[in-house]
Amino acid sequence: MISDRLPAASAGSITFRQVGVEVPTTSPGQEQRPGSQPGTVRILEGLDLELTEARVCVIGANGSGKSTLIRLLNGLVSGSTGQVSVHGLDPAVQTAEVRAQTGFVFTNPLVQLVMPTAGEDVELSLRRTHARRAQRRSAAADLLTEFGLGGLADRSVYDLSGGQRQRLALATVLATDPVLLVADEPTTLLDLAWTLDVQQLLLSRPGIGRCRQLVYTTHDLEFAALADRCLVMDRGRVVHDAAGPDAVRWYRELVHSRRTGQD
Ligand SMILES: Nc1ncnc2c1ncn2[C@@H]1O[C@H](COP(=O)(O)OP(=O)(O)OP(=O)(O)O)[C@@H](O)[C@H]1O
C-alpha cells in the first residue's frame, strides 16, 4: 500500500515554506500586486504553514486564492517560489505518487466525471481496491445508494441534476480511499439535507480507511466553523489562522468592516 511507504515522521503533515505563485499576466488591465515580476501577476504569496490537523478549512472572498492554494496539494498548480510537502512528498516533483494518495473533489463535478455513466465512473475509481469486475459492480451499487443515487447507475452524467453530479463526484473520489481528501467547495450545489449529510460525511472522514486529513474550501461559514483549523485568505495571503469558530468570527468582522468603510 502507498501509505506504507510514507515517512512516519511526516505522516499527516502538510507544509508550505515561503510559497508564492505567479502566473503570466493575461490582460493589460490585470491587477499588478506589489513585488510581482513584469508580465506576471502574483496570486499567492508568503505561505508559511504546517498543517497537522485532521480537518482544515480555507475561507475568503472570491479570487482570494483558496482554490490555487489547495491545487498546490496535488500538483495542479506549482509554486513559483518555496516548497510544498504533502505527507512527505513534493507534489511538484512526485506528482504521480501524491495523486495516487490524494482525492481531489472539484467545484465543477463535470471536470472529474469521465465515464459515460454514473455507475462506470464509480467502478473506475474502485479499480485500486477491488480487483474483480463483479466486486466493483456490487461496491459501486452500494456507494451510489449511500449517496442517494441508487437506480441511476446507467444514467449519463449529463442527465443528472447539479446536486446529483456533485454527490457522484464525491462518491467517485471516496471510492479511491485517499490518504488526503481535498475538496473545493464540495457542497455548493446541494440542497439543505444533502449539505448537512455531506458535511457530516466529510468531517468524519479522517480516520476512516487510509484517510488522515481533509482540506476543504467553502463559502458556507457554518461548515467552515466545524474545522479544527481554518485559514482566512485575502488577496493571495493567509491573513488569519485559527480554530474554525474564531476564524469565521474574524472573517465576518473583516467583511463587515470593509462594507462599512472602516478598513
Ligand atoms: N492560471 C491563472 N492565470 C491567471 N490568473 C489566475 C490563474 N489562476 C487563478 N488566477 C487568479 O488568481 C486569483 C485567485 O483565484 P482562485 O481561484 O484561487 O480564487 P478563489 O479564492 O478560489 O475564488 P472563488 O471563491 O471565486 O472560487 C483570481 O484573481 C484568479 O482570477
Q: What are the sequence ranges of the domains in the chain?
A: 2-259
Maximum Cα interatomic distance, the chain, rounded to a whole number of Å: 62
Q: Of 23-27, 66-70, 80-84, 125-129, which range is least confident?
A: 23-27
For the complex shown, is ipTM > 0.90?
yes
Distance 33 CA to ligand 1 centre (A): 14
Task: Measure 65 CA to ligand 1 centroid, in angstroms.
Answer: 6
How far is it, in rounded angstroms, from Cα 215 to Cα 170?
A: 14
Closest CA to 71 of 21, 136, 31, 142: 21
Going by alpha carbons, the residue nearest to atom 3 of ligand 1 is 23
Extract the C-alpha cell encoding 83.
516548497
Centre of ligand 1 to C-alpha 139, Å, is: 37
Q: How confident is the model at residue 255 (pLDDT cuts 50, 70, 90)?
A: very high
- Using alpha carbons only, give the angle 208, 10, 243 rounded to the nearest 5 degrees: 65
Mean pLDDT across the chain, nearest whole number? 90
DSSP string, 12-74: T-EEEEEEEEEEE--STTS---TTPPTTEEEEEEEEEEEE-SSEEEEEESTTSSHHHHHHGGG
> Which of 107, 189, 11, 220 lies closest to 203, judged by CA?
220
State the distance from the centre of ligand 1 to the C-alpha of 216, rounded, in angstroms: 16
The closest-lying atom of ligand 1 relative to the alpha carbon of residue 31 is 29
Please give the number of the atom of ligand 1 that sits closest to the Cα of 236.
14
Position in ligand 1 atom list of the atom nearest CA 43: 12
User: CATH second-level architecture of 2-259?
Assistant: 3-Layer(aba) Sandwich (3.40)
Question: At 6, is the pLDDT very low, low, confident or very high (cuts 50, 70, 90)?
Answer: very low
Q: How many A from CA of 96 to the centre of ligand 1?
A: 24
Which residues line ligand 1 at a C-beta cut-off of 6 Å? 23, 26, 43, 60, 62-68
The pLDDT-based confidence of 1 (bands split at 50, 70, 90) is: very low
CB atoms within 10 A of CB 93: 12
Give the pLDDT of residue 11.
43
Q: Tens digits of per-residue pLDDT, 242-254? A: 999 999 999 999 9
Contact 232, 251 (CB under 8 A): yes
Kindly give the distance from the C-alpha atom of residue 59 to the centroid of ligand 1, in angstroms, as a whole number.
13
pLDDT the model gives residue 29: 61
